[in-house]
Structure 1
């Protein structure tokens, strides 16, 4: 699907890596095969290598994506998490092994014909959204399979979905999405998205494919741009990278960052 090649070129939706002090926890990412790389950003695994003393609180930051994930030890427990306007944090116990698929923005609704708006700001059981996919995970994947084998199976499964699909989408939406990504979210979505869509059409189509408005999505793209730059707390003070993507001042940036990450930039990048 050449139409979607630019999505991965211009956007890298990342989550925080496990901190050095979080001993006993492993986070891995594996790239998809070429056949599905314009729809899937990565496959990921978050697991314990040894039992923890306390419940681990996992923080998911806003990345504009939709994820399917499941407990590799309890394969009946699979979920889908939609676009999130703010960070989410929840306890996942002292031992865990989660495997997930991070879809690029708009890819999940395109692939599965599911309205992203009904998934937004929450995690739902996969069996209520894609029952066939949930059944396949439980029936086909074994808890004894290593992560590498599971990713191969997931690659093949999604490739089959791609082969069976006929894609119908509004090219004006894709043009708007590409423009937001190219501009790193720094644009006036009411004035600069001159793609032929009325404000009402733009809102409707972004809600369907992303799960939120073009403006809210652009704010997440700006936030992700800062994460991708991998600044230090000191470099942010000196270079003021946040001014390059339209934040008015440091206070505006800090408030926005904390909404999407859960902590201030100085805490995140120390």
Structure 2
């Protein structure tokens, strides 16, 4: 259940979003990026697969990370900040089922020499809407799925055997989430989604204290963002700005010549590099170097 102060919030006569418009608009504005795997070449593959069309306003993608042959050394997988919540699991391994919450910085996962993980990446605000779970309680951590959603953990345990491919998982995941969504009473509060859309429309480059006046106090807006996204409007804006840079994929030369850090709201290059490294784990020159 949602906390009482988040339920039935008054929308007003000029509500911008309807029940279906809110997720569709957010999906149109936001396409989170995770870098491709480079560490082991073709020995480790990462792929994303779009869900059923009816799910695409709620789930950004299904994804798969796996080895194609045993590696010579253990593998470190880096996940960059993307503003989303993921469920991820290793088919056939009951203890390897987790929810990854909103993260303020990059996260590194030490993996074995062989592995096969799959995941579901939910668009911002959707996971708490579907399951009534406070996103802030999941932030900056990988929480065992059984502790958060026992029914989902059971579904994964009994439906996905070792060796199953992402293509084979897709229809099972589609069917499961279509049923979950059909039974979910969504609460698209216009003040939250108005603020969220402003951040996304501006690619995170805005003054959240002055440009997010959506009819509620900054404190209440922070509470809404905390519950539905996992962190404050300010931190979410910083992640969106970082993601905008990733999607633009600037070359190292253009980073130096075009002063991109000014265009996306950083006051100098040092500030830009520090922020980027916090979200990615390496400097921009290493991330975009050829």
Q: TM above 0.5, one fold?
A: yes
Whole-angstrom CA distance in 2 between matches of 1:249 and 1:30? 38
1:92-131 equivalences under 5 Å are 92-131=111-150
Whole-angstrom CA distance in 2 between matches of 1:51 and 1:219? 38
Which of 218, 229, 233 does residue 210 from structure 1 map onto? 229
Q: CA deviation at 1:21?
A: 4.7
Which of 185, 198, 213 does residue 204 from structure 2 map onto? 185
Whole-angstrom CA distance in 1 between matches of 2:163 and 2:239? 37
1:250 alignment partner in structure 2: 269
Q: Does 1:59 align with 2:78?
A: yes
Which of 160, 169, 194 does residue 175 from structure 1 map onto? 194
1:77-96 equivalences under 5 Å are 77-96=96-115
SS in 1 for 2:27: helix
Whole-angstrom CA distance in 1 between matches of 2:165 and 2:270? 45
Q: Does 1:43 align with 2:67?
A: no
Q: Is the 8 A contact 1:43 1:99 kept in 2?
A: yes
Whole-angstrom CA distance in 2 between matches of 1:88 and 1:258? 12
Whole-angstrom CA distance in 1 between matches of 2:230 and 2:61? 20
* Structure 1: 4+ residue segments shifted above 4 A: none
Whole-angstrom CA distance in 2 between matches of 1:20 and 1:62? 19
Q: CA deviation at 1:244?
A: 1.5
Aligned-CA RMSD value: 1.2
Normalised TM-score (structure 1) = 0.97
Whole-angstrom CA distance in 2 between matches of 1:169 and 1:3? 7
Which of 126, 129, 147 does residue 166 from structure 2 map onto? 147
Q: CA deviation at 1:259?
A: 0.4
1:2 alignment partner in structure 2: 21
Whole-angstrom CA distance in 1 between matches of 2:44 and 2:92? 16
Whole-angstrom CA distance in 2 between matches of 1:220 and 1:144? 34
Whole-angstrom CA distance in 1 between matches of 2:215 and 2:117? 42
1:234 alignment partner in structure 2: 253
SS in 2 for 1:74: coil
1:138 alignment partner in structure 2: 157
Q: Write the deviation string for residues 80-121 of structure 1: whole angstroms up to 9, x where unpaired.
A: 000000111121110000000011111111111110000000
**Unaligned stretches of 5+ residues in structure 1:** none
The alignment covers a number of residue pairs equal to 270
2:217 alignment partner in structure 1: 198
Q: Is the 8 A contact 2:92 2:160 kept in 1?
A: no
2:43 alignment partner in structure 1: 24
SS in 1 for 2:161: coil
Q: Is the 8 A contact 1:76 1:138 kept in 2?
A: no
Whole-angstrom CA distance in 2 between matches of 1:235 and 1:144? 43
Q: CA deviation at 1:72?
A: 2.0
